[in-house]
Amino acid sequence: MTPAAAPYVLGIDTDATTLREADHLLRALAAELSLPEGVFGCTHLVRDGRPRVALSLAAEAEPVLRTARDRLTARGYAVRDGAWDETGRAVLYPGAAALTGTLTLAELLARSAIDRVTVLGTADQPAPDTRLVTREHVRPHWQDGRLILAAMPAAGGTLVPFEDPDPTPCCADH
């Protein structure tokens, strides 16, 4: 279920300017709204004259998001029907909380809504017994209606998610 194709999807405009800030906001809102495990929460880069990171929530059941819409609107958020785009970066998704430590790719796929893992720089599918060091930061993206995690090679024949949980800010060494 992609956020854009889910039966019920809300887009939430924010003033967040970084992915880290948007992740924090999305998790805080999910906790405050008591969203159930099956809800997808994504970030979307918006470049429409006011660059920012917007959010989307997608669920199978309308009542979950109807209540969320009312509460978000009451807090002053601009909320709309539908996701910002079909390529959101998933922060909240079924099984996300179970993706900690080092897992085989087979375990990762079995425990979560992630459909596939790709490795940067190769067209080959990694073997199911390949180990992924999660760094407790697994952010797959929607591609063609499937949740895909981009990974890259790491020490000892392992993989790590492409997105670094603690990126060095641009120009940090100047």
Reported as a single tens digit per residue, the pLDDT across 69-123 is: 999 999 999 999 998 888 899 999 999 999 999 999 999 999 999 999 999 999 9
* Per-residue pLDDT at 48 exceeds 90: no
The pLDDT value given to residue 62: 80
- How far apart, in whole angstroms, are the C-alpha atoms of residue 134 and residue 122? 20
Q: Which of 128, 152, 23, 10 is nearest to 68 (CA)?
A: 10
Q: What is the mean pLDDT of residues 125-141?
A: 97
pTM above 0.75, yes or no: yes
Task: Output the six-digit token pair for 117.
Answer: 């893992």
